[in-house]
Amino acid sequence: MDALASSPLGWLCAGVTTLFGVTTLCTAKRSPVGRANMLVWSLLSVLLGLLCVAMLGAVVGLVVFFAMCLISVYFGSKVLLPVGDKAVLITGCDSGIGHALAKYLDSLGFVVFAGVLNEDGPGAEELQQSCSWRLSVLQLDITNATQVKEAYLKVSEKVQNTGLWGVVNNAGILGFPADGELLPMSAYRQCMEVNFFGAVKVSKTFLPLLRKSQGRLVNISSMAGGIPLPRYAAYSASKAALSMFSGVMRQELSKWGIKVAAIHPSGFQTGILGTSDLWDKQEKELMENLPADTRRAYGEDYLLGLKSFLLDLPVHCAPDLSPVLSSVLHALLARRPHGLYTPGKGAYLLLCIFCWSPLWFYDFFISKMMSSVSVPRVPTTSEDESKNL
């Protein structure tokens, strides 16, 4: 033990264990667990670290202690808080993930406020008929400041002094998938208005209620919000903005004990694709706004074939939404929620490839992956010249 005290590595081991204990204690200030219990855990952590070093030696002891810390953090992230009477607001519950999430959380005992674009629509009607009395349907167009304010007043009246435990910003639109050059500016504005500005407006409005409960803010972004994907320029830009907003808010709101998470799902079958009537309208708007030289560059076959890409998307999307629902539940109830969730096939893998591989490799990989989706071919320059001869 004397040799340990005189060793620089020994002092390092002692410092690391002490730092771990202090960090645990600081975290306890925002934890549902009592401070007294966490104080005991902090002291035990320090003593355990010193014991490992004393028994096994400085290097081996430090390695063992780090391994035990990692195991503790891993299993700690698996522990979920009780549902109790926790209330959660979800936007975009007319269909898709929001609709399924409202049903799922209601079945678990949450008090659910389901925001819908149309409170007289079939999605809202189904929620009212199939869910318990705890679920309330709210008319909530997140781009309408008046409706957001009215929803806040209704929710605050019901939760009163307990506050709102969670806000899940799920409402979003995809738009017509096409090359960024082809998309009209209205498509960019609409995606930003719904996917980003609407979520920011809802977050800012309901933060006073989250502060009361030291609750959770969960933003449903997209795999396309973390990696660039062809034909998703407007959608990806709006989701990337939402993801960065989530990261900044995670840092800023931690001082009030509010935890923030971003969900980056891969492809799932939801109502975000829209209807055939909507596709026709968006395709018409796209075609009418194209300059003549751009139309010639891409060719009529390519432009008219863009809808085939949209029609082919559901085939490559998973019908089972349970991975997304499980991620949201963990973000809402875990004692140590993750800052980022990547549910679904390939979401995490593609993010890793984009972050760690050379860009040329990522671009090549994505081009090969997207080739499995039905996409018309843009005419080459030589073909264009041969047509003009």
Query: 154-174: per-residue pLDDT in tens?
Result: 999 999 888 899 999 999 998
| Phi and psi at residue 159, to the nearest 5° | -85, -25
Distances (CA, A) of 349 to 223, 328, 344: 10, 20, 10
**Residue 341 designated active-site:** no
| Structure confidence at residue 298 (pLDDT) | 84
Work out the average pLDDT over 261-283: 76
Query: 47-77: per-residue pLDDT in tens?
Result: 666 676 676 666 566 665 655 555 554 444 5
Higher-confidence position of 42 and 113: 113
Query: 122-137: per-residue pLDDT in tens?
Result: 999 999 999 999 999 9
Work out the average pLDDT over 360-364: 91
Q: What is the DSSP string of 51-101?
A: HHHHHH-HHHHHHHHHHHHHHHHHHHTT-B---TT-EEEES--SSHHHHHH
Counting residues of the chain whose pLDDT is more than 70, the rounded percentage is 70
| Structure confidence at residue 63 (pLDDT) | 61
Three-state SS at 10? helix
On the question of pLDDT at 28 being above 90, the answer is: no
pTM of this structure: 0.77
On average, the pLDDT of the chain sits at 81
| Structure confidence at residue 198 (pLDDT) | 97
Catalytic residue, candidates 104, 152, 232, 235: 235
Distances (CA, A) of 37 to 31, 83, 127, 315: 11, 22, 41, 51
On the question of pLDDT at 42 being above 60, the answer is: no
